[in-house]
Chain A
Amino acid sequence: MSQAPVLDLRGIHKSFGPVQVLHDVAFSVYPGEVTALVGDNGAGKSTLVKCIGGIYPIDSGEYFFEGEKVQVGGPRDAAALGVEIVYQDLALCDNLDIVQNMFLGRERRSGLILDEATMEELAARTLDGLAVRTVTSLRQRVSSLSGGQRQTVAIAKAVLWNSKVVILDEPTAALGVAQTAQVLDLVRRLADRGLAVVLISHNMNDVFAVSDRVAALYLGRMAAQVKTSEVTHSQVVELITAGRSGELGLQNGNGATS
Chain B
Amino acid sequence: MTTTMVPEKGAAGAPAIAPHVRGYVERVRGGDLGALPAVTGLVVLCAVFSVLRPAFLSPINFANLFTQGAAVAIIAMGLIFVLLLGEIDLSAGFASGVCAAVLGVLLTNEGWPWYAAVLAAMATGAAIGLVLGTLVAKLGIPSFVVTLAAFLAFQGVVLLLLKEGTNISIRDQTILAIANKNMPPVLGWVCVAAGVLAYAALQIMQARRRTARGLSAVPTSLIAFRVGTLAVISGVAVFLLNLERSRNAAIVSLKGVPIVVPVIVVLLVVLTFVLQRTAYGRHIYAVGGNAEAARRAGINVDRIRISAFVICSFMASAGGVIAASRANSVDPNTGGSNVLLFAVGAAVIGGTSLFGGKGRALDALLGGAVVAVIENGMGLMGYTSGVKYAVTGCVLLLAAGVDALSRKRAAATGRR
Which A residues form the contact surface with B (CB < 8 A)? Answer: 55, 74-76, 79, 85, 87, 89-96, 100, 104-107, 109, 112-114, 117, 120-121, 124, 127-128, 132-133, 135-139, 141, 143-145
Contact = CB atoms under 8 A, between A and B. Distances in A.
A91 B297 CA distance: 8
A109 B292 CA distance: 23
17 contacts: A89-B292, A91-B292, A94-B416, A96-B282, A96-B286, A100-B285, A104-B294, A105-B297, A106-B298, A113-B278, A114-B282, A120-B4, A120-B215, A121-B215, A127-B1, A139-B216, A143-B410
A128 B6 CA distance: 13
Given A120-B215, A121-B215, A124-B4, A93 B277 contact: no
B5 interface: yes
Nearest to B276: A114
Given A104-B286, A109-B279, A133-B2, A95 B297 contact: no
B217 to A, nearest CB: 10
B297 A104 contact: yes
Contacts of A79: 298
Contacts of B210: 117
Given A104-B299, A113-B278, 16 more contacts: A79-B298, A85-B296, A91-B296, A93-B289, A93-B293, A95-B289, A96-B285, A96-B289, A105-B286, A105-B297, A105-B299, A113-B277, A114-B278, A124-B5, A139-B4, A143-B410
B3 interface: yes
A59 to B, nearest CB: 22
Contacts of B294: 93, 104-105
Interface in B339-392: 357-358
Contacts of B9: none
Interface string B30-44: 100000000000000
B253 interface: no
Contacts of B174: none
B29 interface: no
A55 B299 CA distance: 13
Contacts of A143: 410, 414-416
Contacts of B216: 137, 139
Q: Interface centre among A94, A100, A106, A127, by most B CB within 10 Å? A: A94
Contact of A93 (B5, B278, B357): B357
A117 B2 CA distance: 17
A112 B280 CA distance: 10
Interface in B263-285: 277-279, 282-283, 285
A251 to B, nearest CB: 38
